[in-house]
Chains A and B, each alone.
Chain A
Amino acid sequence: MNKTQKGAWLNVAGVLLVLASTLYITIQIGVRHKPPERVWLCIWVSAFVLVTSIGIFFFRRKQSPAEPESDERDNLIKYRAVLAAFISVWPLFLAASVIPKFIVGANGSIPVFLLPIVTVFMFYIALLVYSVAVLIQYARGAKDGA
């Protein structure tokens, strides 16, 4: 597994953790009207620290001393993954604009603090798309090469 793949796995783990914890906190505060439980907060924080430590350890460790930082194939894969992430931005923005209209009605309004939250969420989803696209391309490449 090279550096790009390790980075992609680290991204997938980190983004899934962020999305899951944000969803939990939103449901807890927004729907149940209760503060988040301490046990879950401790579990999330420990998971973040664990994922980051493991990620940094494996990210810094090379397969061999001769392993290059990245080659042409890596760059092409990264470029395609970035494009996939950018393409996913359109449906995400479309959903973010249209879904509130269904929830609050055509003439309704939404609290403005939701806008930065939506933007950050979309960034994380685009990051997830990027990482998954990287992993899929490497998996395909491995099959083609085999």
Chain B
Amino acid sequence: MTEKEEAWMGLLLGGPILIIPSIVAVFIAYDRGLSFAPLLMFTGTVVWGGLLWLLPYIQRKFRKDKKKIIFDERAQLIHKRVVMASYVALWLYFVTACVITWCLVGPNGSISVNVMLLILVGGLVLFNSIQGLATLILYGRGGKENE
């Protein structure tokens, strides 16, 4: 599978794959109280979704056939830029989400603890969507320049 195809797959399937288990975990915790299973489910999804970008590096480190290049310098450079862009977007999203919530509820108001979890799920989806989108844009640009 090429990087572009992977990016399209991440963009289309990344959201639902991350949203479904995390929302189910939040719902279970809301309905039946906080227990180990939903906490593990939520933490696992967040850690998996948040650190999925490390996969090419891990794959390269533990690959048996070291001679075959599957993650070349150009791909690494694009990947680094994509990850950086996603993290910057994530940070801006969290700051904006906090400020908007503060403005909507008012300085003396209060919010449900579940809102924090939903903000985090939103951040996770945004992080992976930006990764897919930035990969497509950068490969699109690179392709035009090289052709």
Q: What residues make up the interface of A, taking CB atoms closer than 8 Å to B?
A: 79, 82-83, 86-87, 89-90, 93-94, 96-98, 100-102, 104-113, 115-116, 118-119, 122
Contact = CB atoms under 8 A, between A and B. Distances in A.
Q: Which 6 A-B pairs have the closest CB atoms?
A: A90-B50, A86-B87, A115-B98, A97-B116, A109-B110, A97-B120
B13 to A, nearest CB: 21
Instruction: Name the residue in B42, B111, B119 with the highest tally of chain A Cβ atoms < 10 Å from its Cβ.
Output: B111
Q: Is the interface of B mostly helix, strand, loop or mixed?
A: helix
A59 B37 CA distance: 50
Q: Is the interface of A mostly helix, strand, loop or mixed?
A: helix
B126 to A, nearest CB: 12
Contacts of A94: 43, 46-47, 120
A89 B123 CA distance: 11
B33 A106 contact: yes
B38 to A, nearest CB: 9
B102 A115 contact: yes
Interface string B95-120: 10011011001111111111011011
A98 B42 contact: yes
Interface in B31-69: 33-34, 39, 42-43, 46-47, 50-51
A106 B101 contact: no
A112 B90 contact: no
A107 B113 CA distance: 7
